[in-house]
Amino acid sequence: MRRDRREKVAYGEPVARRGEVRGAFAETVRSARTRAGLTLAQAADATGVSRATLIRWENGEITEPVLSQLKAFIAAMDVPAEDILRALELLPSERPTSVPVPARMTNEELLDEVGKRMNGALEQRARAALADLEAQKRRRRAG
């Protein structure tokens, strides 16, 4: 049975959750581009992000975009970084009321902070995967 490549689950995420991120990010990217009145080719020229990558973003095929491409897109499309980051679920959809709200961050500051958090999350995932592999090796040796 052939599986659609777009339905692969990255890093153990459930398909439903990934699908939600996929749709929200794709819609946010498409809305920003169409609001700017640009075709995919024009948006690629304006952002420096390839037309093929933009198509994959808008089709929901990429849900973990490269940070440098994301920064270029946000700057060129003049879209609030918060909108993109919320669509990717890298920021909560609403701020908790019990935590003091800091002064509004610039897009650059916000993206730098998210970059730090993403690296930490990826490192955590890599360590968990490595621990899983080590456990599998031990089970094979024992069994």
pLDDT at 10 (0 to 100): 44
Q: List, for residues 44-57, the tens digit of each pLDDT value.
A: 999 999 999 999 99
Residue 61 has pLDDT above 70, yes or no: yes
Domains and CATH numbers, the chain: 10-93+105-142 (1.10.260.40)
Cβ-based burial of 111 (10 A; exposed 0-12, middle 13-18, buried ≥19):
buried
pLDDT of residue 90: 81
67 and 111 Cβ atoms separated by less than 8 Å: yes
Q: In the predicted model, what is the mean pLDDT of residues 4-20?
A: 44
Q: Which of 94, 86, 76, 69 is nearest to 35 (CA)?
A: 76
Give the tens place of pLDDT for each residue, 16-45: 345 566 789 999 999 999 999 999 999 999
Percent over 90 (pLDDT), the chain: 31
